[in-house]
Structure 1
Amino acid sequence: MNYPYGRCQNCGNRLYEHVDGGYRCPNCDTLYSRDALERVASV
């Protein structure tokens, strides 16, 4: 995992870069693609 990026849409915890790509919430194990997070941030 790398530096925190954004917040989980389910629980609000910080997201961390995942080794397989995208981002993961360590609290609820939700995976997010980089594209999905960029779309949410631009709204």
Structure 2
Amino acid sequence: MAQPYGRCEDCGERLYAHIEGGYQCLNCGRRYAAADLETRTA
């Protein structure tokens, strides 16, 4: 599994790269598109 990237907006846990693209919180299961995270960090 890829290294953590960012934090989940719902529960605050770390996000991990998902095999199908984007990122996922392993705690609550929420998925994020890579483009969504790029705009949050800018």
**TM-score interval (norm. to shorter):** over 0.9
Superposition CA RMSD, Å: 0.6
Question: Where has structure 1 moved over 3 Å in runs of 4 or more?
Answer: none
SS at match of 2:15: strand
Paired residues in the alignment total 42
**TM-score of the two chains, using structure 2 as the length reference:** 0.94
SS at match of 1:16: strand
Amino acid at match of 1:28: C
Instruction: Percent identity, please.
Output: 50
SS at match of 2:36: helix
